[in-house]
Structure 1
Amino acid sequence: MNGIFRQRWHATAAAAATLLTLTALIVVIGTGRPVEPEVRRIVAGALVAACYVLFCFWVAARHRGAAAPVPLPWAPDALLVAYASQTGFAEQIARRSARALEAAGVPVCLASLGELGGPALQRFRKALFVVSTTGEGDVPDSAARFARKTLSGNLPLPNLTYGVLALGDSSYREYCAFGKLLAAWLHRQGAEPMFDTLCVDDGDAGALRHWQHYLSVLGASVEMEDWAPPSYQAWTLTGRRLLNPGSPGGPAYHVCLSPASGSKAEWMAGDIAEVGPRNDPMAVEAFLRELGMDGGQKVASSQEGEQPLREALADRLLPHDAAGLAALRGLPADRLVDALPAIPHREYSIASLPSDGSLELLVRQVRYPDGRLGLGSGWLTGHAELGASIAVRLRSNGGFHPPPPSRPLILIGNGTGMAGLRAHLKARVAAGAGRNWLLFGERTPGADFFFRDEIEAWRAGGLLTRVDLAFSREPGWPRYVQDCLRGAEPELAAWVEQGAAIYVCGSLQGMAAGVGAELERILGRDRLDELAEQGRYRRDVY
């Protein structure tokens, strides 16, 4: 007899016993005859017993409901968003994450870890975990059973890829301990991380925006509103150069920004620039014409005071479909502005150091299916004129800061990930650290070898010990950057034994997983995990 049938049989039996007792009582009372005391005592005893039986079954049912995992309906290809929350903040972030993915058509299964039995994880191919740590490294109460029964054992998860958002407070000694414990357990079960565990210190807004960035990589709309808008500073666009004319890939630009006059900005290799894009002025004018509105009329703004409507719309998400436009027709100017959300930020790896005198980015132009330029890349590479003011916020990315100069460094990346690799190479050159190995992949050697002159000069000067290149569209070369690792196994293992760190920067889809698989094949999973724990295997992927 299976569990569900047994529970139903017991409940039916209890209900039947109670019903028979009540029926007997009704029959006895309904005769209208005097009831003998002995009969009255028997019926009353039966009623008490029946009520007790019902109470016991009610308590047991509640206990089973609390202890047993809740069955979760999901689509076969659903992405699991699981949370463990003590105060409700982790649940709030998980629900926001699920809504952002669902709004873009990604099937999602949202669940508390307390609702999941360990075997349920085996049914998913992708999962995101949003988990908090309470007290000094404690598991949230709602996930205590999951941690006790699942994390203490083994559960093969070779087909799962995952990401972990760990919420915590760095004033505690065991900062984000549960999130780190969960990530380590997942990896030991054979699951593959899509990106490094992201720790959020006391609700840090920058880390939450970085999580939103990962959501967009997984399919959420890149136009979802920032949960915590950055506090931007004004920078000036001082340079822009196309790096890959004739490339079969999208145009990639070297963009230079300078801080406002008299101000000084500091950052480190590995840090991130959050840019606040603005609309193409021509797109704003076309939008106003569609609505039959005058862009010169003044509207009130809490930050800018009164300004022309066209200026107020410069940093607002404009609809590009008939339904969106129809919903806005007839609104007065101030309500129109309020009805449109702000354009969310865009993140870019910084390709320079403060000593270079400017903030340098490597930006790939993105186009929507209808041919429009992407908001961030379009603003930086096309719409903004030289000398224009660019809204920028610098964000520290401690998980990708440089290793000590004495440590050898292996840098692996592709595409615009060269930005992060270049900043690290510049830091190494400035520190006189010459034990560096670069592995880089793009499309063609003629058009897509970004910053080629610098790299060849560093190699000629002895500051780059080895350079391995892959070009996917060029016969005779390794196709992808991970292919460069094949055949380099002995030297890679030797560098690692000599204390080298491995830094990976570039695309999450394809490259990061491919590189990770090759490193695991060469070094072994345990050794790679050990390097990650020591901070010697770090990734900035997007």
Structure 2
Amino acid sequence: MSPPPAGSGLRARAGNGIALLALAAAGGLMASWQGGDWWLATPATSRWAAAGVALLAYVGLTAGWLWFAHRRDRAMLPGDAVSHDATWVVHASQTGFALELADLTAASLHTAGMPVQRAALEHLDGERLAAIRQALFIVSTTGEGDPPDPALGFVRSVMGKSATLANLRYAVLALGDREYQHFCAFGHQLDDWLRRHAAQPLFDLVEVDNADDGALRHWQHHLGQISGGTDLPDWDAPRYSNWTLVERLELNPGSIGGSAFHLALAPPSGTAPDWTAGDIVEIGPRHARADVDAFLASRGLPPEARVTWQDETFTLADVIARSQWPSATLTSPDTTPQSLADAALPLPHREYSIASIPTDGTLQLLVRLMMRDDGSPGLGSGWLCQRAALGDGIALRIRRNPNFHAPSANVPMILIGNGTGLAGLRAHLRARSHAGAHRNWLLFGERQRAHDYFHRDELERWQADGHLERLDLVFSRDGDPHRYVQHALRAHTETLRDWIGAGAALYVCGSLEGMAPGVDQVLRDMLGDAQVEDLLTAGRYRRDVY
């Protein structure tokens, strides 16, 4: 997806209207210069009438669109009431791209059944902002780290003052260009200001470099999580590579929690994919083949029929396996294999932290099998942990996640996580082991030591050979005095301060509910808000939470 031309928004549409009027005036002036017939065969009266009707219709449609768009942009003004039940989608745009993404975001939330209000940032004041309960901010950066021109009033009149925002849950999508020194500066400035005034992040800031589709799908992934609409289609269909599932091992048989699996995937033949510890993998899930065959049989369509889908040729069964199935209203006795494929939308992708490094030879994951309320497996985890067979192809795309890349090898690392969040931390530990960096402290929490001590042999070997300077474990169902990982962190206050004083970086990976905010609160209690904010600003406190 590329940004729209500069000038989007109300000013651009007003300019378009003025341009149309100017062209009409110019046309009239030129016509007055003609003394006689202006063409060898002057149009008949009937054609003049038809042309006039067409022109009037065009002018009417243009005026109608300008009026509608003007009302849309002015739907939220400072005097309007705040809906406490709605999620606010707030944009600050220089060229119109943030506005476009705000429209897509609002549409996704609306499709998931959430009440939504959309507003330009300049239409918010301190009082209205304090009354909002949940907001998604989509903001661009212009010039050398400046806010968009329309947002300057908000920066001066609202961000220049103190505010009480403890009731606000928020997220920020920051748009920028890495070629500039101050990449996504205004997004970070807004995020810092909101946090400093007690607003609670729904998830960490998402940076978008030049409309990068991977970052935008990451934002959509979060939208699905907060709305419950996990089957919402991607705005742009990702292009996957075909990897092979070569290993699957259940790590916690007998656990009272959900089953967790170690998975290994081999890259396409002849390729040498590269990634960095902290990066994310996007998986294109599939329906079970038996379900696909039953779906097509109920409609009398041959599964092996060849169809065109997304500019490539597939069997109909392959398309339906990768798609949200068309509704019954789109399948009738007249439906053909191609018409069914034309109506099929790709399944939304799923994201997982990579648990290995390229020198391991395979891309490894740690995935928990999620179960729906009706007892059926989740779409992505069900595909990876149950339905896909060893040797099957897995649609996969690696997405860079620079916000969770490691510091240099001479910087101490404190790694904190729970559950399958160990995946991202394991990748960092493997990378640092190869780099000879041994100043590492891991705090990890799960349910039962006997079942949920993931990668136990590896962790204890690292501890024995000195690669892990400290290893603190918490198992909540075993009666440990420190029930969760944040409680273990609090118990080691002095050690934490010593490591931070020595320049350590904090990396947190795991659950957004409970663990991540719990760890953040402990850090603030132990170090103070000012030092935690300084760590965030310096890039020494990073999170990959979900």
Q: Could you tell me which runs of 5 or more consecutive residues in structure 1 were left unpaired when the two chains were aligned.
A: 1-64
Q: Aligned runs of 1:291-310 on 2, under 5 Å?
A: 291-301=299-309, 303-305=311-313, 307-310=314-317
When residues 477 and 285 of structure 1 are mapped into structure 2, their CA distance, relative to the original with a 3 A threshold, is farther
Q: Does 1:316 align with 2:323?
A: yes
Q: Does 1:109 align with 2:113?
A: no
Provide the residue aligned with 1:529 in structure 2: 533
Provide the residue aligned with 1:231 in structure 2: 239
Separation of aligned partners in 1, 2:85 and 2:480 = 38
Preserved CA contact (<8 Å) 1:269 1:401: yes
Separation of aligned partners in 2, 1:301 and 1:84 = 36
Preserved CA contact (<8 Å) 1:101 1:220: no
> What's the CA shift for 1:413?
0.6
Provide the residue aligned with 2:162 in structure 1: 154
| Higher mean displacement: 287-296 or 272-281 | 287-296
Q: Name the aligned partner's letter for residue 461 of structure 2.
A: A
> What's the CA shift for 1:103?
2.1
Separation of aligned partners in 1, 2:448 and 2:134 = 33
SS in 2 for 1:282: helix
Provide the residue aligned with 2:60 in structure 1: none
Provide the residue aligned with 1:364 in structure 2: 368
Q: 1:328 aligns with which of 320, 326, 331?
A: 331
SS in 1 for 2:256: coil
> What's the CA shift for 1:211?
0.7
Q: Does 1:71 align with 2:80?
A: yes
SS in 1 for 2:323: coil
Provide the residue aligned with 2:218 in structure 1: 210
> What's the CA shift for 1:73?
4.2
Separation of aligned partners in 1, 2:109 and 2:374 = 22
> What's the CA shift for 1:448?
0.9
> What's the CA shift for 1:385?
1.2
| Higher mean displacement: 294-303 or 136-145 | 294-303
> What's the CA shift for 1:384?
1.3
Provide the residue aligned with 1:384 in structure 2: 388
> What's the CA shift for 1:525?
0.9
Larger Rg: 1
Preserved CA contact (<8 Å) 2:438 2:469: yes
Separation of aligned partners in 2, 1:140 and 1:159 = 26
When residues 313 and 119 of structure 1 are mapped into structure 2, their CA distance, relative to the original with a 3 A threshold, is same
Preserved CA contact (<8 Å) 1:297 1:308: yes
Q: Aligned runs of 1:434-473 on 2, under 5 Å?
A: 434-473=438-477
SS in 1 for 2:242: strand
Q: Aligned runs of 1:182-331 on 2, under 5 Å?
A: 182-301=190-309, 303-305=311-313, 307-318=314-325, 324-330=327-333, 331=335
| Higher mean displacement: 416-425 or 482-491 | 482-491
SS in 1 for 2:94: coil
Provide the residue aligned with 2:11 in structure 1: none
Q: Name the aligned partner's letter for residue 210 of structure 1.
A: H
Q: Name the aligned partner's letter for residue 80 of structure 2.
A: P
Preserved CA contact (<8 Å) 2:204 2:543: yes
> What's the CA shift for 1:166?
0.7
Deviations 1:92-120 (A, max 9, x none): 21222222222222333322112211211
Separation of aligned partners in 2, 1:446 and 1:125 = 42
| Higher mean displacement: 146-155 or 212-221 | 212-221
Separation of aligned partners in 2, 1:362 and 1:285 = 30
- The sequence identity of aligned pairs, in percent, is 50
Preserved CA contact (<8 Å) 2:140 2:175: yes
SS in 1 for 2:321: coil
Q: Name the aligned partner's letter for residue 217 of structure 2.
A: R
SS in 2 for 1:446: helix
Q: Name the aligned partner's letter for residue 528 of structure 1.
A: V
Q: Name the aligned partner's letter for residue 315 of structure 1.
A: R
SS in 1 for 2:479: coil
| Higher mean displacement: 247-256 or 461-470 | 461-470
Separation of aligned partners in 2, 1:213 and 1:384 = 22
Provide the residue aligned with 1:406 in structure 2: 410
Q: Name the aligned partner's letter for residue 123 of structure 2.
A: E
Separation of aligned partners in 1, 2:136 and 2:315 = 43
Q: 1:474 aligns with which of 471, 478, 494?
A: 478
Deviations 1:379-426 (A, max 9, x none): 111111111111111111111111111111100011111000100111
Q: Name the aligned partner's letter for residue 90 of structure 1.
A: A
Separation of aligned partners in 2, 1:213 and 1:302 = 22
| Higher mean displacement: 350-359 or 310-319 | 310-319
Provide the residue aligned with 1:31 in structure 2: none
Separation of aligned partners in 1, 2:319 and 2:237 = 17
> What's the CA shift for 1:144?
2.1
> What's the CA shift for 1:515?
0.8
> What's the CA shift for 1:486?
1.9
When residues 135 and 293 of structure 1 are mapped into structure 2, their CA distance, relative to the original with a 3 A threshold, is same
Preserved CA contact (<8 Å) 1:100 1:220: no
Preserved CA contact (<8 Å) 1:276 1:343: yes
SS in 1 for 2:491: coil
| Higher mean displacement: 506-515 or 65-74 | 65-74
Preserved CA contact (<8 Å) 1:194 1:513: no
When residues 371 and 289 of structure 1 are mapped into structure 2, their CA distance, relative to the original with a 3 A threshold, is farther
SS in 2 for 1:238: strand
Preserved CA contact (<8 Å) 2:438 2:467: yes
Q: Name the aligned partner's letter for residue 227 of structure 2.
A: G
> What's the CA shift for 1:314?
1.8
When residues 301 and 83 of structure 1 are mapped into structure 2, their CA distance, relative to the original with a 3 A threshold, is closer
SS in 2 for 1:269: coil
Q: Does 1:141 align with 2:149?
A: yes
TM-score, normalised to structure 1's length?
Answer: 0.84
Preserved CA contact (<8 Å) 2:308 2:341: no
When residues 477 and 293 of structure 1 are mapped into structure 2, their CA distance, relative to the original with a 3 A threshold, is farther
Provide the residue aligned with 2:47 in structure 1: none
> What's the CA shift for 1:68?
6.8
Separation of aligned partners in 2, 1:282 and 1:341 = 20
Separation of aligned partners in 2, 1:67 and 1:274 = 36
| Higher mean displacement: 284-293 or 161-170 | 284-293
SS in 2 for 1:313: helix
> What's the CA shift for 1:361?
0.4
Q: Name the aligned partner's letter for residue 71 of structure 1.
A: D
Provide the residue aligned with 1:15 in structure 2: none
Preserved CA contact (<8 Å) 2:278 2:406: yes
Q: Name the aligned partner's letter for residue 141 of structure 2.
A: T
TM-score, normalised to structure 2's length?
Answer: 0.83
Q: Does 1:90 align with 2:98?
A: yes
Preserved CA contact (<8 Å) 1:195 1:539: no
When residues 233 and 296 of structure 1 are mapped into structure 2, their CA distance, relative to the original with a 3 A threshold, is closer
When residues 385 and 67 of structure 1 are mapped into structure 2, their CA distance, relative to the original with a 3 A threshold, is closer
| Higher mean displacement: 149-158 or 165-174 | 165-174
SS in 1 for 2:303: coil
SS in 2 for 1:399: helix
Separation of aligned partners in 2, 1:67 and 1:124 = 13
Q: 2:353 aligns with which of 336, 346, 349?
A: 349
Provide the residue aligned with 2:426 in structure 1: 422
Q: Name the aligned partner's letter for residue 351 of structure 2.
A: E
Preserved CA contact (<8 Å) 1:70 1:116: no
Separation of aligned partners in 2, 1:456 and 1:106 = 46
**RMSD of aligned C-alpha atoms?**
1.9
Q: Name the aligned partner's letter for residue 424 of structure 2.
A: G
| Higher mean displacement: 340-349 or 325-334 | 325-334
Deviations 1:353-385 (A, max 9, x none): 111111000111122223332221111111111
> What's the CA shift for 1:501?
0.5
